[in-house]
Structure 1
Amino acid sequence: MNLSAPPPDTAQRYEMLQAGLDLLDQGLTVFDAGLRLVAWNEPFLRLLDFPAAMAYVGAPFESFIRFNAARGEYGPGDSESQITERIAAAGSFAAHVTERQRPNGRVLLLRGEPLADKGFVTLYSDVTEQRYIENLAEYQNIQLEERVRRRTAQLENANANLTRANTENTRIAAALRRSEERLRLINDTIPILIGYVDANEVYQYANKGYSDWYGHPEGGVTGRGVREVIGEQVYGQVRDSVRRALAGQQVTYEYQMDRLGQTVFARSTLVPEVGPESETLGFFVFSHEITEQKRMQAALVQAQKMEAIGQLTGGLAHDFNNLLTVIIGNLAALQDHRPGDSEVNEFVEPALQSARRGVQLIKRLLTFSRQQPLEPQAVDIGQLIVSLAKLVRRSLPESIAVSTDLPSALHALVDPGQLESALLNFALNARDAMPAGGRLHIAARPVELSTDAAAFDVPPGAYAMIEVVDNGSGMDAATLARVFEPFFTTKRFGLGSGLGLSMAYGFAKQSGGGVLIQSQPGQGTTVLMVLPLTAPEQDSDAPLDDAPLLLGGELVLLVEDEPNVRRVVRQQLIDLGYPVIEAENGAQALEMIEHIPDIAIIVSDIIMPGGIDGRQLAEWVRQHRHPIRILLMSGYADENDDQGTSDLPLLAKPFVRQDLARALQRVNRGKA
């Protein structure tokens, strides 16, 4: 059919109507506002010699004009300009009646009438015979009547076409309404908050997401002021941006707000709408939530801090442990040489204890920064807390009462020294929160975590839970959110490093557990630590004897770049009965190995200047199949081993003579 497909219930009527149109001897076309063919009849194609394939619903007006131009219908001249002129005239269509003589000599009368909603209808009549007999007066009246009759029929046909066009317009309007509904559905579904604010700071539009974001019902934003909708807290953050947008500037900013009991973040872009006179009519708002992005950024910053701490700690550990090696070695030697001198021991023993605390501090810092591996073992939590409670009681004032609730047997797989340090840190923080006195309770119990495992960021399973509770001053939400942040502290300058809780948290995570802190101002604080449960260990073999196995004066090559460390270790080796020669770097050591065949043992530091470190030295000895045993020393146990010497004994600095003796025992037992 030549009309667009009508609804099924009227299809037969449209077919009958089209058949009637095709019986007319006048041509008919109807074009819509977009200059697309809506309706036509067969006489139109016949009178203007158009191929039937050119006529279809939606055929462009331009295609017929170009067809005529191509076959010379418009005479000589620029065909493209003629085409442009005719298309422009059709776009601003006006009623007209005109005649056109076809190349075949036939004369056509064209009458065009605009439609109410743009577009136009055109009738094509073959008036060749009429013009021929116009000079015949007697025939003119008859022909005039015929023309009137035909005109009447044409008008009736035009009215019928107009009716059809109106019906089509109604259908198009319904389609537009459906399109608007779909567009609104899209606007309300996409994860973007969309709004429009006029020059008076009044919302003229807001999608559902925008209304939901600020807690208003759908449609409850339109017609209300910006300050009223978003509240004073947010308005104070965005006021300047709103004013800049109303001044014609596109603005992007971020803000935060309290929503459903949580702090959330959003990023907004304000796009001004500019009128024809360059005035700002208002602006569009496009916002999206960035709370998760902020959380990821905070996690990245935290990771960067941890990386910086790790790099700093790893760099300091070697040098600091070298210093402690000298201090502990000399103090221990003094104590050994003056065992019965109480006056000397009165000064030496506290110094040794402080130096050993320095060793533990370095180990804790390395563990916290993940640069030092833990030494986990099956620890009886109850026994450890009982022992720790004695130290805690001595560290707390009498105004603080300490109580415990411990199981008879509860074992966790942890590093005992790190666990003691973490629990002691919790206790000392509780002390600082109770300056006027209070209660400190330490308890432990086995738990099975399932859905609540997410709170500790651990997988579901069986854990040992340690609980440290005080009734002190507590913490507000802002402080609680930052307690595990490195270097964050609420203590006065010089009284806290801000690393205690961070290190405890790092130890727990590295052990496969987690830490959760619950606190409110004036309500005290509860620290919950969970650690993986384990079975108690069986009794192991007896430790190595402290007495060294002397090898009858085997020669030891000591390789150490620090003179003071080298002097201490040399004296320890001499005290153990070993003759010693020294090298201050790897290059000197290689030269000695090649020229002194009596060297039986090498005791070498790992990190040394000169291009050859301890591991490279050991690898060279192995490759050349020297029958020399090797003992490596290190002030930083996580130094990279890319030479494949990880199976060699490693003695961690600082150490005393008996530690060196036990290490040499292991070396000697590995002798072929």
Structure 2
Amino acid sequence: MHSPPAAPSHDPRLTMLQAGLDLLDQGITVFDADLRLVAWNRTFLELLDFPESLAVVGTPFADFIRYNAERGEYGPGEVEAQVAERLAAAASFQPHVRERQRPNGRVLLLRGEPLPERGFVTLYTDITEQRYIEHLTEHQNIQLEERVRRRTAQLENANANLRRAITEKESIAAALKRSEERLRLINDTIPILIGYVDANEVYQYANRGYAEWFAPPGGTVIGRSVPDVVGREVYAQVRDPVKKALAGQQVSYEYQKERHGETVFARSTLVPEITPEGRTLGFFVFAYDITEQKRMQAALIQAQKMEAIGQLTGGLAHDFNNLLTVIIGNLAALQDHLPKAASGDATVNAAVNEFVEPALQSARRGVQLIKRLLTYSRQQPLLPEAVDLGQLLASLSKLLRRSLPEPIAISTDLGSQPIHALADPGQLESAVLNFALNARDAMPDGGVLHLACRPVELSTDAAAFGVAPGHYALLEVTDNGCGMDAATLARAFDPFFTTKRLGLGSGLGLAMADGFVKQSGGGIAIHSQPGEGTVIQMVLPATQPETHPEPPPEESSQPGGGELVLLVEDDPQVRRIVCQQLVDLGYPVIEAEDGQQALLMLAQIPDIRLVVSDVLMPGGLNGRQLAERIAGEFADKRCLLISGYTDEEGQGAADSGLGAQIPVLAKPFTRQELARALHATFSSSQS
């Protein structure tokens, strides 16, 4: 129930004040200390939707609260409680500012301030539009922030992609640089000479090998003409291929040039670069050094020649030894029969012997020469024995004196005591001979070749020869020739390496000598400097020769026991000499010209005790095959083979094929050597 309103005032000033308040766009109310309405304006009524009936001076504050509560601002049963709560708050009024949203959706800002005489004044401001604008602004800000966030994310993503692209580009650039460096390294290190020449015969590219191969003045190839780079002599050899390549034809060829004082060879292929329209822009050059290949080919040809010489030597040795057998046999027989000459004149015998003895010595030197040729020509395993180095060097010095040019002098220092080394004598002779021939080539204008040997005890200096410390025999070959520089000295033992012109040396001599010496348990050291000559020192294991018992008395004084001997030899002159030697030794002899005839005689003459047969014979049955037949069909017969040349490995014996060893006597032989061989053959049969 409302309190009665106060009487209206007709004071014009109040009317004007009210009119002024009504013009405000903010609502205003003033309540006194008793919480009764003192003043208000129309905007207040409109903002809070109060009826004009409440807008009366003296209206209690509680009526306004109750009016709102009854309009449904508070739930049922809560109206009086809310009124009481609001009145209590108003009674102890505190300044405040709060927002309140009306049921119609309007937002009001309430600001209350206490009055000096108690009571309070409240200002009501409609901030709906402001809040809408703020909300809209906030929404727009949120949208803007979202767009900015999305755009920032896009920019960050773009920046990340750009960074990745830059990183990938840098990685690709680095990989491309590495690839170019690798390609350049490959082009510069592969053993192929690569270049490119344009249509004007001017180099546009050359790898390092190509530039070093020609080494033009100034060291620059690119931008220079072909004749200027390769030189006139080489250009004369390659002019036609170059013209063909510029005409669009791929061509290969070989040429030679002087490089660092030696002749070198190269093989080149020119590959033209042709446009789709058929125009030749230039050509690529792909070349490689074939000097070593040429040398290997020359060495192979030389080896083939040596093999052919070896085979030829073997065949000639048989015939030559047959000739020497006849010569030595006849001279020896003549010498043996001189005391029985009819004249009986000792002076005549001495005069005849003066001619016979040199002929015999020469024939025996021929035998040694043939043995040496066979040693050089045949491939055979090492047969080490105690070699007297003094005797070997003395013998070789005589041989070399006849082989070396006159301006080269030979000196020796062989020591006062015999010095023996354990080595294959044939291989050792070959090695020393090779050293001497190299020394000859190093002294084209003459000089001194010095051969020496001495015993040495190696301790800390054994490493220089690559051997263990111990007692060795040292063999030294010295010359005062041109010497070798460090690069040549480092490759001296390399197979096929040689400083000689192509065709004048295979480069195998020192390599083979080094292999032989190491295989023998020794080592080689070379000391040389340009212009100061070369010293080659070879150490071999020192040894002592075996002591042999005194030889038995000459079998010539012990005639045979009358055993019947079958002599099988196709050469009638040799057969006559051997027959005479057998007869002189006391053996009855029957003769056969070949193996087939010998088999027939063996079958018909059971008294034959021994067969002396040549190894190489015509008729389809050689001496070794004959020995096999005898061992299989005539077990009571013995066989002795004689040969001017044989490749049997039995070291004086041939295998019969049935486990028995057949002795072999080398031609030519003396009567005494034949007697010993016969004695050994009969002794083995009795045992």
TM-score (norm 2): 0.59
Q: Measure how far apart 1:369 and its partner are.
A: 1.0
Cα 1:258–1:170 change in 2 (3 A) is farther
Equivalent positions of 1:132-531 (< 5 A) are 175=172, 178-179=175-176, 181-183=178-180, 185-189=182-186, 191=190, 192-214=192-214, 220-231=220-231, 234-257=234-257, 264-339=264-339, 341-370=349-378, 376-382=384-390, 385=393, 402=411, 404=413, 406=415, 408=417, 410-414=419-423, 441-445=450-454, 464-469=473-478, 528=536, 530=538
Contact 1:366/1:372, CA 8 A, preserved across alignment: no
Cα 1:319–1:526 change in 2 (3 A) is farther
Contact 2:559/2:587, CA 8 A, preserved across alignment: yes
Contact 2:375/2:426, CA 8 A, preserved across alignment: no
Instruction: Quote the residue 1:662 is aligned against.
Output: 676
Q: Measure how far apart 1:450 and its partner are.
A: 7.5
State the percentage of identical aligned residues.
58
Asked if residue 596 in structure 1 is aligned to residue 596 in structure 2, the reply is: no
Whichever residue aligns with residue 274 of structure 2, its letter is V
Partner Cα distance (2:442, 2:170) in 1: 73
Single out whichever of 621-630 and 565-574 deviates more from structure 2.
621-630
Q: Measure how far apart 1:261 and its partner are.
A: 6.7
Whichever residue aligns with residue 624 of structure 1, its letter is E
Q: Measure how far apart 1:393 and its partner are.
A: 9.6
Which SS does the other structure have where 2:326 is aligned?
helix
Q: Measure how far apart 1:638 and its partner are.
A: 1.5
Partner Cα distance (1:437, 1:231) in 2: 35
Contact 2:396/2:429, CA 8 A, preserved across alignment: yes
Whichever residue aligns with residue 302 of structure 1, its letter is Q
Partner Cα distance (1:228, 1:624) in 2: 83
Q: Measure how far apart 1:431 and its partner are.
A: 10
Q: Measure how far apart 1:371 and its partner are.
A: 5.4
Contact 1:484/1:505, CA 8 A, preserved across alignment: no
Q: Measure how far apart 1:647 and its partner are.
A: 2.3
Instruction: Quote the residue 2:545 is aligned against.
Output: 537
Cα 1:437–1:207 change in 2 (3 A) is closer
Contact 1:208/1:219, CA 8 A, preserved across alignment: no
Whichever residue aligns with residue 553 of structure 2, its letter is D
Which SS does the other structure have where 1:607 is aligned?
coil
Whichever residue aligns with residue 598 of structure 1, its letter is D
Which SS does the other structure have where 1:649 is aligned?
strand
Q: Measure how far apart 1:356 and its partner are.
A: 1.6
Partner Cα distance (2:228, 2:444) in 1: 46
Partner Cα distance (2:641, 2:290) in 1: 51
Cα 1:438–1:178 change in 2 (3 A) is closer
Whichever residue aligns with residue 309 of structure 1, its letter is I
Single out whichever of 530-539 and 226-235 deviates more from structure 2.
226-235
Q: Measure how far apart 1:277 and its partner are.
A: 4.5
Partner Cα distance (2:392, 2:579) in 1: 38
Pick one of 611, 622, 635 that aligns with 2:644: 635
Partner Cα distance (1:328, 1:322) in 2: 10
Contact 1:368/1:507, CA 8 A, preserved across alignment: no
Q: Residues 517-576 of structure 1: CA distance to partner in whole angstroms, max 9, x if unpaired?
A: 99999x797684736323112312223432255442000010111111111100000000
Single out whichever of 358-367 and 254-263 deviates more from structure 2.
254-263
Q: Residues 69-92 of structure 1: CA distance to partner in whole angstroms, max 9, x if unpaired?
A: xxxxxxxxxxxxxxxxxxxxxxxx
Contact 2:656/2:662, CA 8 A, preserved across alignment: no
Unaligned segments of structure 2, at least 5 residues: 1-153, 340-345, 485-497
Partner Cα distance (1:389, 1:428) in 2: 12
Contact 1:208/1:218, CA 8 A, preserved across alignment: no
Q: Measure how far apart 1:336 and its partner are.
A: 0.7
Q: Measure how far apart 1:408 and its partner are.
A: 4.4
Partner Cα distance (1:305, 1:164) in 2: 75
Whichever residue aligns with residue 188 of structure 1, its letter is L
Single out whichever of 644-653 and 389-398 deviates more from structure 2.
389-398
Contact 2:411/2:449, CA 8 A, preserved across alignment: yes
Contact 1:621/1:628, CA 8 A, preserved across alignment: yes
Contact 1:465/1:530, CA 8 A, preserved across alignment: yes
Partner Cα distance (2:536, 2:350) in 1: 45
Whichever residue aligns with residue 330 of structure 1, its letter is N
Which SS does the other structure have where 2:590 is aligned?
strand
Whichever residue aligns with residue 650 of structure 1, its letter is V
Contact 1:405/1:443, CA 8 A, preserved across alignment: yes
Which SS does the other structure have where 2:675 is aligned?
helix
Contact 2:262/2:501, CA 8 A, preserved across alignment: no
Q: Residues 323-344 of structure 1: CA distance to partner in whole angstroms, max 9, x if unpaired?
A: 1111111111111111551222
Partner Cα distance (1:563, 1:444) in 2: 48
Whichever residue aligns with residue 676 of structure 2, its letter is R
Cα 1:284–1:479 change in 2 (3 A) is closer
Pick one of 641, 652, 665 that aligns with 1:651: 665
Which SS does the other structure have where 2:355 is aligned?
helix
Equivalent positions of 1:117-132 (< 5 A) are none
Q: Superposition RMSD on alpha carbons, in Å?
A: 5.1
Unaligned segments of structure 1, at least 5 residues: 1-156, 487-500
Q: Residues 2-26 of structure 1: CA distance to partner in whole angstroms, max 9, x if unpaired?
A: xxxxxxxxxxxxxxxxxxxxxxxxx
Which SS does the other structure have where 2:266 is aligned?
strand
Q: Measure how far apart 1:399 and its partner are.
A: 11
Cα 1:403–1:540 change in 2 (3 A) is closer
Cα 1:425–1:176 change in 2 (3 A) is closer
Instruction: Quote the residue 2:576 is aligned against.
Output: 567
Q: Measure how far apart 1:366 and its partner are.
A: 1.1
Contact 2:612/2:642, CA 8 A, preserved across alignment: yes
- Computing the radius of gyration from Cα coordinates, the structure with the larger value is 2
Q: Residues 109-156 of structure 1: CA distance to partner in whole angstroms, max 9, x if unpaired?
A: xxxxxxxxxxxxxxxxxxxxxxxxxxxxxxxxxxxxxxxxxxxxxxxx
Partner Cα distance (1:387, 1:207) in 2: 56
Contact 2:455/2:472, CA 8 A, preserved across alignment: yes
Aligned length: 494
Cα 1:219–1:329 change in 2 (3 A) is closer
Contact 1:633/1:651, CA 8 A, preserved across alignment: yes
Q: Measure how far apart 1:401 and its partner are.
A: 8.0
Partner Cα distance (2:615, 2:602) in 1: 17
Q: Measure how far apart 1:278 and its partner are.
A: 3.0
Partner Cα distance (1:588, 1:506) in 2: 51
Partner Cα distance (1:651, 1:337) in 2: 25
Asked if residue 553 in structure 1 is aligned to residue 562 in structure 2, the reply is: yes
